[in-house]
Structures are given as structure tokens and as C-alpha cells.
Amino acid sequence: MNNDERIVITGVGLTSPNGNTLSEFRNNLLNAVSGVQKFTTRYIGETLAGICNFDPLKYQKKKDLRRGTRAGSISIYCANEAVADSGIDFEKFDKPRIGVYIGTTEHGNVETENEIYNLSQFDYDTKIWSHHHNPRTVANNPAGEVTLNMKITGPHYTIGGACAAGNLGIIQGVQMLKLKEVDLAIAGGVSESIHTFGIFAAFRNEGALASHPDPTKASRPFDSARNGIVISEGGCLYTLERLSDALARGAKIYAEIASYASNSDALDFVLPNSERQAECITLALKRGGIAPEQIDLVNTHATSTPQGDVSECNAVKKVFGASEKTYVNNTKSFIGHTMGAAGALELAGNLDSFNDCVIHPTINIDNLDPACDVKNLVVNKPKKVDKVEYILNNSFGMIGINSVLIVKKYK
């Protein structure tokens, strides 16, 4: 494969419940710092959530915040941080040759709930309905707000991929670069989910909303006492470039995209299908010409639900059961489930493993569920290993959408 066909990550911009830069995020993952806390929301009262604490005014004015959306604000912050981190001379870059591809679980629920609540306070007089409602709720909003903020005139769209969306945003950026449609892709995923009470109510009524006296222990994938999802907000966007362009400008390179895959369960609205998950992982490996034993780290999607965790563990066992040095971890145990941001954000937390050969653990495992006892699961403490050359990142979502992304150490 020539350098025009190889796609690399050259910049990372993120906000998470436990860090607003890659270094802060990584440091907290290695030091067991959780970002889950108590959270009070409309109609639900007190619950638990992962809340981001970035400075939205770093790249936006107050007027922009009033007019726009939380998802747009997260996207703008992450996109600007990624570009700054990449070292690109952005002012001189050809703006029509930049594409923005942002994955998300859903968009518009927050704004619609808020408008209806406001309407209820004024005897349902529609004159108080905001004229900003339509641009706030159109599906392309998060990516579109980035283009408005950064004066990007290339293509943009938001990818609705449920909880697989973060990976899918990156995959879309890779494909568009390979097709020569753009020369720079800003790609990844974002989530504003905690600002809609509906998602809390739905998970609670389904019996899948996490609870624990200690918020930092509520998200506990693979633990026998796990009882549901911690809903979180967050975002992570990358600058992706063709290797030839990155080398020409002397860019630092975080990783190279080695392969990817996506498929569908075709089973149920919410129940996962272990066989289809395993097939998605296998397809990504086959497409990249990578053997299972070459994967040094599998970052799991596991959300801390009883059925979901077991399903993924069965898929991982099926594909990697014979691999002696494939380690397994989970990032949601620190930050909860950042929904559409999950794939992109969790990948970021593992990128430094290429350099320091340290795998961050899955925390909050007091009693491992025997059904989740996968080989080489890194539990509660970081694990120093001999090498990390390939990382495989799982992200699976509702309506049976699966995505797998494999990145490798650039050399």
C-alpha cells in the first residue's frame, strides 16, 4: 500500500468526564480516577452521570452558545483542539478540502424536550417556541456547527450510528480520504445525552440504569454486581490525513488506521447478538490481513449491563480465545457510557499504549462474573506489557449496529 492510501491520526481533541486533554484523560485512566458523579435532571431527580467540564467559551462566544446546541459546542471544542494538536497551518489550509464527519447516538432530543417544557410554562402558547429550534435539531447540526465555527466549506454530515457512531465517524473520514474527496478529515463522535431526561427514564424503566451509593463505582463492566449503564456526555474528534501529506509537513503521528468493519445483528431493538459481533471483529481482522494473535489490546464496548457484557465477552473469547498475548480492557468503567462519543473517546484513552506499553485497567471489578472471565483481562491496576503494535476497538449499538476499528503503531 502506498503512502497516499495509508491514513493516519495526526491530532486529537477531546472532552471527557475525567479530562479535557489527551494527557489528562490518559493520566486519570492510569490512576483510577473516575469521572462519574451525582447528577440531578428534570423529572428524574438525583441520578448518576458522567459530566464534562470543558470551557465552551474557549472557541465560542456567548451568543453562539445561546443559539447553538450542547452537542455542537462539544463538537466545536473537540474539533478546534484536534486541529491545534495536529500542528496544521489551518489558516492556509484549503477549506473546501476539509471534511467533517461526526458520529452521534441521537440529536435534537435535548432541544425538543426543553422547548416543550418551556411551552408548558406558558399555557402551551406556541409563540414562545424558539425560532432557533429547526437548525438546532436538524440531524447534521453537530458537524454543521463545526463548519460554521471554523469556516470550513468542505462536506459535513452527522452519522447516526447509535453507540457505534464514534468508530463510524472515523471510518467515514478514512473512506473519504482514500477516495480523495478531501485532504483533511475531522472525524469522531460526540454525545450530549445527559441533557435529555428521556434517556434516563427509558433506561431506568428498562431496568438498565446503574445505581450505587458511591458514584465512582457505579460503572462496573464485568463485575458480578453490575446493574446498568451510567449515562455520560463527551466527545473526541481526530484529524485524519493521508500518510503522504502528514510526512510532507513533518506531522507527529499517533497511529495508523489498519482496518475496520461494520455489520448488523438483525436480531432485536436492544438485545445484542454475540455471533454478529464476532463476525464484525473477524471481518475487520480479515480485511486488514491481521491475525487475532497480532492484536495486543482489545478495548471492549461493555456497558455494565448483564446481558451486553456477556455477549461481547463470548465474541471476544470466540475470536481471541487461542491468543496468549491479546490483552483486554474497558474504558467505560472510568467515565460511564458516552454513547455516540464512546468509540472515538475510548480509542483515544488507549493510544499512548503504543509508546509506553502500559494498558489501562478495567476498574470497579470486585467480583468478576465467571461469564465475563476473558483471557488477559486487565483488572483494577495498569499492566505493563512487552509491546503494543495493534489495538482493536469495539463499539456496538442499539438496533443491532456493530463497528470495529483497528489501529496500529506507525513505524
Q: Whole-angstrom Cα distance, residue 300 to residue 277?
A: 11
Out of 107, 156, 337, 360, which one is annotated catalytic?
A: 337
Told to judge if 337 belongs to the known catalytic residues of this protein, a careful annotator would answer: yes
Told to judge if 301 belongs to the known catalytic residues of this protein, a careful annotator would answer: yes
Out of 156, 301, 313, 360, which one is annotated catalytic?
A: 301
Q: Which of 126, 155, 130 is nearest to 140 (CA)?
A: 155
C-alpha cell at 309: 457484557
Q: Whole-angstrom Cα distance, residue 321 to residue 385?
A: 19
Which residues have CB under 8 Å from 136's CB, separation 6+?
68, 69, 108, 111, 130
CB 47 within 8 A of CB 200: yes
The 3-state DSSP composition of the chain as helix, strand, coil percent (nearest 5) reads 40, 25, 35
State the amino acid at position 100 in one-letter form: V
Which residues have CB under 8 Å from 208's CB, separation 6+?
228, 229, 305
Q: Whole-angstrom Cα distance, residue 41 to residue 29?
A: 27
Q: Which of 154, 177, 155, 175 is nearest to 242 (CA)?
A: 177
Q: Which of 202, 233, 235, 231 is nearest to 218 (CA)?
A: 231
SS (HEC) of 79-113? HHHHHHHHCCCHHHCCHHHEEEEEEECCCCHHHHH
Long-range pairs for 24-29 at CB < 8 Å and ≥24 separation? 25/348, 25/349, 26/349, 26/352, 26/360, 28/334, 29/331, 29/334, 29/349, 29/360
Out of 163, 280, 313, 372, which one is annotated catalytic?
A: 163
Q: Give the residue numbers annotated as catalytic, written as ranges.
A: 163, 301, 337
